[in-house]
Amino acid sequence: MQGAILVLSGPSGAGKSTIISNATNSIGAYYFSISTTTRSPRNGEKNGREYHFVSKEEFETGIQEGDFLEYAKVHDNYYGTSLKPVQKALNEGKLVIFDIDVQGHRLIRQKLGDITTSAFITPPSLEILSQRLFSRLTDERQVIQKRLEVAKHEILAIKEYDFLIINDTISQATEQFIKVANVARLKQSDRQKDSFLRQWFAQS
């Protein structure tokens, strides 16, 4: 089974993590890309599990040395994806899943667009997103308001994505995600197409 990339974007509270967890047994071997960030760990977060936590100086050194597939600065903190584990997973034939913002999606499209499939996951409306964020009781009102403002901006980029998954119910959204993940594995890179053409003509 060939390696491929699946980029997921969507507002905080869209249910991306729950959907991926529910689909684990139906999408084959995959690697969930863990971002590197300069923000401080939240309560319960562990280095190497939710994020790789580094200093601003370490992150900027990585940028200069070309260690990141993509990176962005959000709310005064850096977030980025290291290239090495991604390439290792692709070589092992795994589906590499990214949970990144709109800006990160654009950067990955520029670098690895021929093996990248993308989906934007969102609740049915801004009102429902707001209800879900406030009901979690994990963030202060000011933080939630900022997340809602970001969501209103990023939703405008949905036409840049291959698929739109509207998370009205988790079961339905999970079913749609499984279909998208399996389709992503079928995408052929330009190198694979060139290889096939050489074989096709060689056997003529």
Residue 70 forms part of a structural domain: no
Residue 12 forms part of a structural domain: yes
Write out the chain's pLDDT in tens, 204 residues.
578 999 999 998 899 999 999 999 999 999 999 889 999 998 888 898 888 899 999 999 999 998 888 888 888 899 988 888 888 899 999 999 999 899 889 988 998 888 999 999 999 999 999 998 888 877 788 888 988 999 999 999 999 999 999 999 999 999 999 999 999 999 888 888 898 899 999 976
* Three-class secondary structure assignment of 39-94: CCCCCCCCECCCEEECCHHHHHHHHHCCCEEEEEEECCEEEEEEHHHHHHHHHCCC
Of 102, 89, 119, residue with least CA distance to 20? 119
| pLDDT in the model for residue 204 | 63
CATH number for the domain that contains residue 123: 3.40.50.300
Residue 176 forms part of a structural domain: yes
| pLDDT in the model for residue 128 | 93
Residue 153 forms part of a structural domain: yes
Q: For 6-17, what is each residue's pLDDT tens digit? A: 999 999 889 999
Give the Cα separation of 126 and 129 in Å (integer).
Answer: 5
Q: Note the residue count of the chain.
A: 204
Asked if 10 and 19 touch (Cβ cutoff 8 Å), the reply is no
Q: For 62-108, what is each residue's pLDDT tens digit? A: 999 988 888 888 888 999 888 888 888 999 999 999 998 998 899 88
Residue 60 forms part of a structural domain: no
Number of domains in the chain: 1
Residue 81 forms part of a structural domain: no
Residue 58 forms part of a structural domain: no
Residue 120 forms part of a structural domain: yes
| pLDDT in the model for residue 1 | 55
Supply the range of the domain harboring residue 118. Answer: 4-33+93-202
